[in-house]
Amino acid sequence: MLNGILRKILGKGGSREVAKKRLKFALVYDKLEVSNDILSDLQADVIEVISRYFEIDKSGLKLDIQRMEDKTALVVNTPILSAKRKVIAA
Amino acid sequence: MEGKTIVITSGKGGVGKTTATASLGAALALEGKRVAVVDMDIGLRNLDVVMGLENRIVFNVVDAAKGKCKLKQAAIKDRRVENLFLIPASQSDNKDALSPELMKQFAKELRREFDFTLMDCPAGIERGFENAVAAADEAIVICTPEVSSVRDADRVIGLLYARSITPKLVVNRIVPAMVEKGDMLSHEDVVDVLSIELIGLVEMDEQVVVSTNTGIPSVLQKGSVAGEAFRRIAMRINGQPELPIAVPQGQKRFWKKVGRKLGFGK
């Protein structure tokens, strides 16, 4: 009980809160783990879509999943050679 | 009427799958059901010693599933609890001795013969897991209030959903005093993270060690809090799903009670 009072006064959490936080992070991370197969399929699709609008250096395209403290981002980086002129359908 | 096959699984090893299987099997048999407990940990059998039946093994689950012996020959009758049978694992084969297809066939036979078949799943998510799950209608996931165990449970729950099985959760080895001190995940924390239906809470109980030492299921031991918890889980499995789930309280001392009343608990 003394422990309880002290904790209330000092506002200090036990390792339980730490455990819960770490667990939630671990599970989010686990679910964001993308297999290389999926990543290379995605890369092929991304190249196809971008190529409709830009002339790009296909070998220079980089696709990456970046994890930050509280967010995860998909980063696509590609050198653009030129913009494609829109072909107006006859 | 056809029986049910239930897999007891966890992902992580050492969280109490085998103890849970033995306890729930014995408890369901005490409820008057015809029960088989099957050790699916091929090559590392243990359910037999936990149940105290290690001296009576002749045939095993691989023999029975492959039709090398009759189901009745492989099922060892427990002499203390009526209608309780153990189908032991093979110690010499490896996990490739069985296949999911073979287990699906075998499960049909088990459903005809028993009201409940509990499969003690090996740790891990490889072939042994596949085999055990292939034969199952339902699943119970066991986890302890630890980060590693809950994480693995989450993974296993995902794999079960992928096979159209909605598992139920048992949180095992809860130490109420530590939860109260804020040094252990509470069952609410675990359920919150895993978001599946709870079917029981089991307190950490030294009697379980005594029970495995002697090979007497904890549900047969008077005064075992874990045994009592497993008996209540068995009742929930056996058609009383609404039976309330008691939260382990541990030994309450006077000042703790006062503290709880004043709102200093937890």
CATH code for the domain in which residue B215 is found: 3.40.50.300
Q: How many percent of chain B have pLDDT more than 70? A: 94
Looking at the fold, whether A15 and A27 belong to one and the same domain comes out as: yes
Looking at the fold, whether A12 and A39 belong to one and the same domain comes out as: no
Per-residue model confidence as pLDDT tens digits over A69-89: 777 788 888 888 888 876 666
For A16, residues 6+ apart whose C-beta sits below 8 A from its C-beta are B179, B182, B183, B184, B185, B186, B189
Please judge whether A4 and B155 are an interchain contact, meaning their C-beta atoms are less than 8 angstroms apart: no
CB atoms within 10 A of CB B61: 28
Q: What is the pLDDT of residue B260?
A: 63
Burial of B172 (0-12, 13-18, 19+ CB in 10 A): buried
Q: What is the pLDDT of residue A85?
A: 76
Decide if A50 is inside a domain: yes
If one counts the domains in chain B, the total is 1
- The partner residue sitting opposite A1, judged by closest CB among B182, B183, B259, is B259
Q: Note the Cα B30 to chain centre separation in Å.
A: 16
For B208, residues 6+ apart whose C-beta sits below 8 A from its C-beta are B16, B19, B218, B224, B226
- Residue B128 in tokens: 């042994």
Flag whether pLDDT at B107 surpasses 90.
yes
DSSP state of B3: -
Please judge whether A20 and B259 are an interchain contact, meaning their C-beta atoms are less than 8 angstroms apart: no
In angstroms, rounded to a whole number, what is the distance separating the alpha carbons of residues A80 and A66? 22
| Contacts of A4-12 spanning 24+ positions with Cβ under 8 A | A4/B180, A4/B259, A4/B264, A4/B265, A4/B266, A5/B259, A5/B264, A7/B182, A8/B264
- The partner residue sitting opposite A7, judged by closest CB among B147, B182, B193, is B182
| Range in A42-51, B55-64, B108-117, B227-236 the model is least confident about | A42-51
If one counts the domains in chain A, the total is 2
For B71, residues 6+ apart whose C-beta sits below 8 A from its C-beta are B64, B87, B109, B110, B113
- Residue B204 in tokens: 């950490």
Residue B141, min C-alpha distance to chain A (Å): 17
In angstroms, rounded to a whole number, what is the distance separating the alpha carbons of residues B99 and B13? 22
Looking at the fold, whether A19 and A40 belong to one and the same domain comes out as: no
- Residue B90 in tokens: 């093979």
Looking at the fold, whether A49 and A80 belong to one and the same domain comes out as: yes
Question: Which is it for strands A72-77 and A62-67: parallel, antiparallel or unpaired?
Answer: antiparallel
In angstroms, rounded to a whole number, what is the distance separating the alpha carbons of residues B237 and B15? 20
Residue A61's pLDDT band, with cuts at 50, 70 and 90, is: confident
Looking at the fold, whether A6 and A27 belong to one and the same domain comes out as: yes
Per-residue model confidence as pLDDT tens digits over B152-201: 999 999 999 999 999 999 999 999 999 999 999 999 999 999 999 999 99
In angstroms, rounded to a whole number, what is the distance separating the alpha carbons of residues B186 and B205? 17
In angstroms, rounded to a whole number, what is the distance separating the alpha carbons of residues B143 and B140? 10
Please judge whether B146 and A19 are an interchain contact, meaning their C-beta atoms are less than 8 angstroms apart: yes
Q: Which residue has the higher pLDDT, B104 or B221?
A: B104
In angstroms, rounded to a whole number, what is the distance separating the alpha carbons of residues B115 and B6? 11
Looking at the fold, whether A50 and A28 belong to one and the same domain comes out as: no
- The partner residue sitting opposite B265, judged by closest CB among A4, A16, A24, is A4
Looking at the fold, whether A62 and A40 belong to one and the same domain comes out as: yes
- The partner residue sitting opposite B185, judged by closest CB among A3, A7, A16, is A16
Residue B22's pLDDT band, with cuts at 50, 70 and 90, is: very high
Cα-Cα-Cα-Cα dihedral sign, residues B252, B256, B262, B266: negative
Residue B158, min C-alpha distance to chain A (Å): 10
Looking at the fold, whether A42 and A27 belong to one and the same domain comes out as: no
Q: What is the mean pLDDT of residues B100-117?
A: 97
B contacts of A13 (beta carbons < 8 Å)? 182
Mean pLDDT (chain B, rounded): 94
Looking at the fold, whether A57 and A46 belong to one and the same domain comes out as: yes
Looking at the fold, whether A49 and A79 belong to one and the same domain comes out as: yes
Flag whether pLDDT at B59 surpasses 60.
yes
Query: What part of B 217-246 touches A (C-beta under 8 Å)?
Result: none
DSSP state of A18: H
Cα-Cα-Cα-Cα dihedral sign, residues B185, B191, B194, B199: positive
Report the residue of B125, B180, B188, B190 to disrupt the A interface, i.e. the one with the largest count of A CBs within 10 Å.
B180
Residue B96, min C-alpha distance to chain A (Å): 26
In angstroms, rounded to a whole number, what is the distance separating the alpha carbons of residues B111 and B116? 7
Q: Helix B187-194 to helix A15-32 angle, to the nearest 10 degrees?
A: 10
Asked if residues B15 and B174 have their Cβ atoms less than 8 Å apart, the reply is no
Looking at the fold, whether A7 and A24 belong to one and the same domain comes out as: yes
Q: What is the mean pLDDT of residues A15-23?
A: 92
Identify the domain containing residue B114 by its residue range.
4-262
Map tokens 């699906």 to a residue: B104
Residue A73 in 3-state DSSP?
strand
Please judge whether A30 and B154 are an interchain contact, meaning their C-beta atoms are less than 8 angstroms apart: yes
- Any idea how long chain B is? 266
Write down the pTM of the prediction.
Answer: 0.81
Looking at the fold, whether A26 and A46 belong to one and the same domain comes out as: no
Q: What is the pLDDT of residue B266?
A: 44
DSSP state of A74: E
Q: How many percent of chain A have pLDDT more than 70? A: 78
Identify the domain containing residue A26 by its residue range.
1-33
Decide if A90 is inside a domain: no
Asked if residues B100 and B110 have their Cβ atoms less than 8 Å apart, the reply is no
